């Protein structure tokens, strides 16, 4: 029996990519029951572009964040399966059909989500290629049954939201991790390369590092929650990669203060260890874009680890603060 699919697309200032996103949805091999674009307070031509396509456009001009936008889409959707797609992505033509096939094959599966294609939606330079290749690499290597769902391109049966409620609207980042904490104890989560989308990634180094730092603020609380539940979250960087980056960065101040060649042996060893910990990833980048790009890739990867470690440290300190609401269960946003 053919399942009806509602595609939910949260969009904020997405004029650059929304046309490609919607065109990819209408090119799916599986018929789409409805497409719902939730304009989350855009100030550009997002709404105008959405109106050029056969879709339902929601939005009241207020920017409430991606969680609230997805919840609005859930409330309006009438399909048996909800397929979430970020507005800066374009799906491969058989992604929806493949997701439905995997859901049908496993009644205990509550979410099928996909990978980032190794090529960006638009080529905006080497920083974007770094981000795209890295995103593709770690997701593709983690394919299978996982404990974390990412909703940039994900299919979820409606009954899941009827049971668990919607996304936490207090979160504008890491809402995927919070929802995964509620999803994983009850349903299997499948990550597959049969669902894929080209993504328009960040192409400027400064905003990329700022985004990495911001998202890392919730990393330690999320990992603590996962361990408390006996689960392991799917992460972009291996423990070895993070540890060797920390050791390398920790060895730099003594080398700078002491001077001379000898103190620099520790940072040199740390850099070698960092490269070895990421040998597969760096090799993948080199095969795609050449040796010079692999060196650039390594430098940006280390810079991102610096931002990640800083964000995780600040987030860990914040999580230790006493909270007035400690001990009280946080209310979940209900699906209307």
- pLDDT for residue 135 is more than 50: yes
What per-residue confidence (pLDDT) applies to 226? 53
Residue 330 pLDDT level (bands cut at 50, 70, 90): very low
CA distance 190 to 142: 10
Q: What is the pLDDT of residues 146-158, one digit of tens each?
A: 999 999 999 999 9
- pLDDT for residue 304 is more than 50: yes
What per-residue confidence (pLDDT) applies to 229? 56
CA distance 286 to 264: 27
CA 198 to each of CA 25, 42, 120, 263: distance values in angstroms, whole numbers, following the listed order: 13, 22, 5, 44
What per-residue confidence (pLDDT) applies to 92? 97
Paired sense of beta strands 5-11 and 81-85, if any? parallel
What per-residue confidence (pLDDT) applies to 36? 98
Residue 322 pLDDT level (bands cut at 50, 70, 90): low
Please, which residues bridge with residue 146 across strands? 189
For 274, the 3-state DSSP assignment is helix
Lowest mean pLDDT among 45-49, 103-107, 254-258, 272-276: 254-258
CA distance 248 to 195: 37
First-to-last alpha carbon distance for the chain, in angstroms, is: 27
What per-residue confidence (pLDDT) applies to 155? 98
Mean pLDDT taken over the chain: 91
What per-residue confidence (pLDDT) applies to 232? 52
Mean of pLDDT values over 124-132: 97
Q: What is the pLDDT of residues 163-219, one digit of tens each?
A: 999 999 988 877 888 899 999 999 999 999 999 999 999 999 999 999 999 988 877
Cβ proximity of 102 and 112 under 8 Å: yes
What per-residue confidence (pLDDT) applies to 328? 45
Residues making up the chain, counted from first to last = 336
What per-residue confidence (pLDDT) applies to 236? 84
Residues of the chain above pLDDT 70, percent: 91
- Phi and psi at 9, nearest 5°, equal -125, 105
- pLDDT for residue 223 is more than 70: no
> Which residues, in sequence order, are CB contacts of 139 under 8 Å at separation 6+?
114, 115, 116, 150, 191, 193
What per-residue confidence (pLDDT) applies to 321? 74
Mean of pLDDT values over 100-106: 97
């Amino acid at each position: 029996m053919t399942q009806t699919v509602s595609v939910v697309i949260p969009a904020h200032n997405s004029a650059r990519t929304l046309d490609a996103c919607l065109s990819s949805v209408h090119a799916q091999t599986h018929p789409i029951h409805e497409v719902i674009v939730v304009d989350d307070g855009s100030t550009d031509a997002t709404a105008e572009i959405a109106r050029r396509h056969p879709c339902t456009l929601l939005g009241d001009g207020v920017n409430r964040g991606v969680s609230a936008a997805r919840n609005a889409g859930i409330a309006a959707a009438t399909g048996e399966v909800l397929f979430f797609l970020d507005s800066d992505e374009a799906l491969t033509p058989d992604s929806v059909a493949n997701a439905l096939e995997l859901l049908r094959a496993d009644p205990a599966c509550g979410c099928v989500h996909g990978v980032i294609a190794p090529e960006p939606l638009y080529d905006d330079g080497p920083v974007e290629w770094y981000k795209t290749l890295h995103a593709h690499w770690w997701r593709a290597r983690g394919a299978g049954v996982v404990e974390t769902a990412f909703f940039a391109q994900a299919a979820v049966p409606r009954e899941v939201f009827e049971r668990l409620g919607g996304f936490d609207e207090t979160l504008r980042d890491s809402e995927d991790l919070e929802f995964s904490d509620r999803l994983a104890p009850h349903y299997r989560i499948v990550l597959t390369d049969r669902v894929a989308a080209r993504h328009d990634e960040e192409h400027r180094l400064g905003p990329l590092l700022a985004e990495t730092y911001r998202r890392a603020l919730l990393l330690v609380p999320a990992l603590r929650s996962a361990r408390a539940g006996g689960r392991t979250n799917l992460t972009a960087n291996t423990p070895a990669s993070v540890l060797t980056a920390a050791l390398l960065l920790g060895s730099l101040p003594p080398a700078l203060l002491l001077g001379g060649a000898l103190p620099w042996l520790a940072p040199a060893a740390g850099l070698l260890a960092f490269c070895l910990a990421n040998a597969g990833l760096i090799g993948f980048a080199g095969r795609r874009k050449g040796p010079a790009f692999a060196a650039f890739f390594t430098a940006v990867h280390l810079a991102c680890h610096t931002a990640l470690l800083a964000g995780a440290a600040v987030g860990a300190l914040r999580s230790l603060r006493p909270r007035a609401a400690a001990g009280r269960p946080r209310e979940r946003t209900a699906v209307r």
